[in-house]
Amino acid sequence: MRVIKQKPMTWGERLYIFEALRGLFTTIKHAARGLFRYETLPTISYPEGQPEVRNTYRAKHRLMLRPDGTPRCVACGMCAAACPAHCIFIEATASDDPRIEKKVKRFDIDHLTCVFCGLCVEACPVDALRMDTKEIVFEHRTRDEFVATLETLTAWNPKDYPDDEQSQVAPGGTKNAEARKVWGMEVK
């Protein structure tokens, strides 16, 4: 263990007035920098300036889409089981597609309760849930609006994810037509 002994104050420091002026100088220095050399400050003048968010940042969720536009989610409830904040509410129903058994009827994420840990994304067996929307701002007028529903979670544009192949498979994406051919395979 390192012991740091406090040095006794010198005569000049004990006078107080010089030290106070020295502190004031630091304050004035920063104030002047904000006035004349604003761009060198590390602070972002939010909301005019927006921080740069990487796609690995755990932002608002989105639900991935199949080529035909239905959510990939199979309503297995793994995300809800993994969620430490219990903020995911899922109801399932039978699917109309004969190849798929189960589809999601209700998928609500309460972003007021969510802790953005990303465990739901890890838990998803079909890669339906992602947190790469880069949307980090949640501003709403009522509590209900903070609950992301199936509609809001699936309302994303493939153009916002140009580098992600999986997103391009969704309707409106560059690879949608190709994927649709495979997806719409005849059911024997």
**Interaction residues for other proteins, span 124-183 (CB under 8 A):** 125-126, 182-183
From candidates 3, 35, 137, 187, binder to other proteins by CB under 8 A: 187
93 binds other proteins (CB under 8 A): yes
d(CA 168, CA 166): 5
99 binds other proteins (CB under 8 A): yes
Q: Tell me how far, at minimum, the Cβ of 102 lies from other proteins, in Å.
A: 4
Look at the block and give the residue holding tokens 């104030």. 31
From candidates 42, 49, 51, 98, binder to other proteins by CB under 8 A: 98
Sort 149 into a burial class: Cβ within 10 Å, 0-12 / 13-18 / 19+. Answer: middle
14 binds other proteins (CB under 8 A): no
Q: Which is nearer to other proteins, 101 or 145 (CB)?
A: 101
Q: Tell me how far, at minimum, the Cβ of 96 lies from other proteins, in Å.
A: 11
Q: Which is nearer to other proteins, 99 or 141 (CB)?
A: 99
**Interaction residues for other proteins, span 60-89 (CB under 8 A):** 74-78, 81
Q: Which helix (H) or strand (E) holds 19?
A: helix 17-36
From candidates 13, 19, 101, 144, binder to other proteins by CB under 8 A: 101
Whether 18 and 12 have beta carbons less than 8 Å apart is answered as yes
Q: What is the dihedral of CA 164, 165, 170, 174, to 10 degrees?
A: 100
d(CA 9, CA 75): 68
Q: Residue 47, preceding bond cis, omega within 30 degrees?
A: yes
Radius of gyration of the chain (CA): 26
Q: Tell me how far, at minimum, the Cβ of 78 lies from other proteins, in Å.
A: 6
92 binds other proteins (CB under 8 A): yes
Residue 9: other Cβ atoms inside 10 A = 11
- Is 54 strand, coil or helix? coil
Enumerate binding residues for other proteins (CB under 8 A).
Answer: 74-78, 81, 92-94, 98-99, 101-102, 125-126, 182-183, 185, 187-188
